[in-house]
Amino acid sequence: MNPIRRFLQAIRSLLTGGAPLCDKCKYDYGNVCTRPERPNARSCPDYRRK
C-alpha cells in the first residue's frame, strides 16, 4: 500500500473510530441490505446515517 493511501486510511479510521460504516447505517437491519460488504463496509455508495 502506498504511503498516501495508508495516511488517508489512518485519517478515516480516526474520524470513524475504526468502526465499519454499517454500524451507523440505517439499512443495517433485517434483510434490508444485501451488499456483500455488510457488515464491515469501509466505504459504501448506499450508506445513509441512522
Does 42 engage in binding with ligand SF4 (CB under 6 A)? no
In the complex with ligand SF4, the residue whose CB is nearer, 13 or 46, is 46
Tell me the C-alpha distance between 24 and 4, whole Å.
26
Question: How many other β-carbons are positioned within 10 Å of the β-carbon of residue 22?
Answer: 18
Name residues contacting ligand SF4, limited to 17-36 (CB under 6 A).
21-22, 25, 27-28, 33, 35
In the complex with ligand SF4, the residue whose CB is nearer, 8 or 47, is 47
Give the three-state DSSP class for 4. helix
Euclidean distance between the first and the last CA atom of the chain, given in angstroms as a whole number:
32
Residues that bind ligand SF4 (CB under 6 A): 21-22, 25, 27-28, 33, 35, 37-38, 41, 44, 46-47
